[in-house]
Chains A and B, each alone.
Chain A
Amino acid sequence: MNNFDYVRPTTMSEALAAASEPGAAYLAGGTNLLDLMKGDVARPSRLVDITRLPELNRIEWLPDGGVRIGALVRNADLAHDSAFARRFPSVAEALLSGASAQLRNAATVGGNLLQRTRCNYFYDVASACNKRAPGAGCDARGGEGKHQAILGWSESCIATNPSDFCVPLVALDAVVEIEGKAGRREVALEDFHRLPGDAPERDSVLEPGELIVAVRLPAEAADFSGHARYLKVRERTSFAFAVVSAAAALRIEGGAIIAARIALGGVAMKPWRARAAEDVLTGKRPAEAAFRRAADIALGAAKPSGDNAFKIELARRIVARSLTLAAAGAPDRLPSLPASPFAATAGVLLHV
């Protein structure tokens, strides 16, 4: 690990000033950043420890029924907040399907949005990686493709965003609040992460020195609370990153779908909202044929980036399955194995 200055501001303005120099990085839970620093993948010259900024640690219910989640709220605290989990069950399920209990106790909301890809070639400093060293090339091309992209990738980078949390968030129209020296701005989560294009070193639209202060969910997101699920296929049922995941949310009235939300994880460098697939479900009865058609549309533009063509069919099935589970209804209590395709929920078919 390279050496660094460590500063621990107690106000937002001190934090923004301390992070304004090149090479500075914010430290919150540290579960991703310290890991990257130990591997020499990240080499910040200054760490600005923001854990003592008290205003970032709250879950606030807004007068219009939405919720504002402070950037320092820990993953476990948000998932186990009963009022939050009741209104946004797929978000709680996604949070609890990620990492381990120890990591969820430390990892924060803001940090989750900023976690780097888990591409092995990004982590291995002996491999060429355009994201880690712009212009170096991409050893992931022709490499092991299970965790690589099938949507939105470019010749320069085929990595994926590893977040579970962001997948239902983007489906439910979350907004990111960002503080910078020029003031506060807001960005829809759907527009927050960048596809690689020819500048894969930039994961998001965050400018140097800017700080995520909160994530908001609008009141309308809670209208899906009865029919919202997250489903995640991984190599083992716990403590593993998604190969493919999907968040599905439905509003069903009079036997018909009046609104649908679909997003995918593990398939692109951003949480992938599938709006065209949502649109074809509106007005349909919640049934297998409609879900399969939506899944086909969601993956319409997919193409393998290596030996990962299997992920396209897998993603189709996971989208259809997550819609089926959402239609069956969010369970009263999260399953013992959150987001697992192998978790039996009473009254729900295991195989569809």
Chain B
Amino acid sequence: MNMSISLELNGVAREVILDDPRVTLLDLLRERLDLTGTKKGCERGQCGACTVIVDGRRVNSCLTLAASCDGAQVLTIEGVADGDALHPVQAAFIAHDGFQCGFCTPGQIMSAIGLIAEGQAGDDPERVREGMSGNLCRCAAYAGITEAVLEAQKEMTERDRRHAA
């Protein structure tokens, strides 16, 4: 049974034909739309490597059916930079060594963007660590990740203030 779904994917309207209702958002991105920045780790919602932002909220794309995303706005790691200019969270991960092997990094960055948008953590490192606990890093770059999230949040807050002024 084919079904057609509409997505706004990284700011671009897309119509996608699904030939199987079992396709997850993760598999749609990686296997059918060639957006392999989003990683498949555990595939069970435990590691966070597949984190993307759907309608402004960070979610595990491995536990999201593509069919259920009909009409949604989806943001992946491929859509966060502004041309050659890195997103502040990307830049902060580089500045603070927020990764080693890099496999979990797209999920970490998307999760951090979601966390900053949620606005619950403030500048408390403990709240940042708690808010990032859905993203595992087997290289254990957690100290750098926490620093990167805090710095990116500060940078984005200041940028917003400059824009508002």
Contact = CB atoms under 8 A, between A and B. Distances in A.
Contact of A38 (B1, B21, B44, B132): B44
B31 to A, nearest CB: 15
A103 interface: yes
B45 A336 contact: no
Contacts of A336: 124, 126-127, 130
For chain A, which range describes its interface: under 10, 10 to 19, 20 to 34, or 35 or more residues?
Answer: 20 to 34
A34 B146 CA distance: 30
A74 B55 CA distance: 13
Interface stretch (B6-14, B61-69, B81-89, B92-100): B61-69
B138 interface: no
A80 interface: yes
Interface in A1-39: 1, 3-6, 8, 27, 30-31, 34-35, 38-39
Contact of B58 (A5, A6, A105): A105
Contacts of A76: 57, 118
Contacts, number: 94
Interface residues of B, number: 36
Given A8-B68, A101-B115, 18 more contacts: A27-B68, A30-B65, A34-B63, A39-B44, A47-B21, A49-B67, A51-B68, A74-B57, A80-B118, A99-B134, A101-B114, A102-B48, A105-B57, A105-B59, A106-B57, A106-B64, A336-B130, A337-B126
Interface of B: 1, 3, 20-22, 24, 43-45, 48, 51, 57-60, 63-65, 67-68, 70, 111, 114-115, 118, 120, 124, 126-127, 129-135
B126 A6 contact: no
B153 to A, nearest CB: 15
Contacts of B126: 336-337
28 contacts: A3-B20, A4-B21, A4-B22, A6-B3, A6-B65, A8-B70, A27-B68, A30-B65, A30-B68, A34-B24, A35-B63, A38-B43, A49-B68, A76-B57, A76-B118, A102-B51, A102-B59, A102-B111, A102-B114, A103-B45, A105-B58, A105-B59, A105-B114, A106-B59, A239-B134, A336-B124, A336-B127, A338-B130
Given A101-B115, A336-B127, A3 B67 contact: no
Which of A27, A39, A49, A102 counts the most chain B CB atoms within 10 A? A102
A238 B63 CA distance: 20
A338 B131 CA distance: 11
Nearest to A340: B130
Interface string A41-77: 0000001010100000000000000000000001010
Interface of A: 1, 3-6, 8, 27, 30-31, 34-35, 38-39, 47, 49, 51, 74, 76, 80, 99-103, 105-106, 238-239, 336-338
Contacts of B22: 1, 3-4
A103 B124 contact: no
B65 A34 contact: yes
Contacts of A4: 21-22
B63 A31 contact: yes
B78 to A, nearest CB: 19
A344 to B, nearest CB: 10
Which of B45, B48, B114 counts the most chain A CB atoms within 10 A? B45
A100 B48 contact: yes
B3 A238 contact: no
B114 A30 contact: no
A50 to B, nearest CB: 10
Given A8-B70, A101-B58, A30 B130 contact: no
A31 B60 contact: yes
A101 B21 contact: no
A44 to B, nearest CB: 11
A133 to B, nearest CB: 21
A6 B67 contact: yes
A5 B57 CA distance: 27
B130 A103 contact: no
Contacts of B64: 30, 34, 106
Given A4-B22, A35-B44, A27 B65 contact: yes
Contacts of B65: 6, 27, 30, 34, 47, 49
Which of A1, A336, A337 counts the most chain B CB atoms within 10 A? A336
A102 B114 CA distance: 9
A336 to B, nearest CB: 4
Contacts of B44: 35, 38-39
A4 B65 CA distance: 12
A101 B68 contact: no
B134 to A, nearest CB: 3
Given A238-B133, A336-B130, A31 B58 contact: no
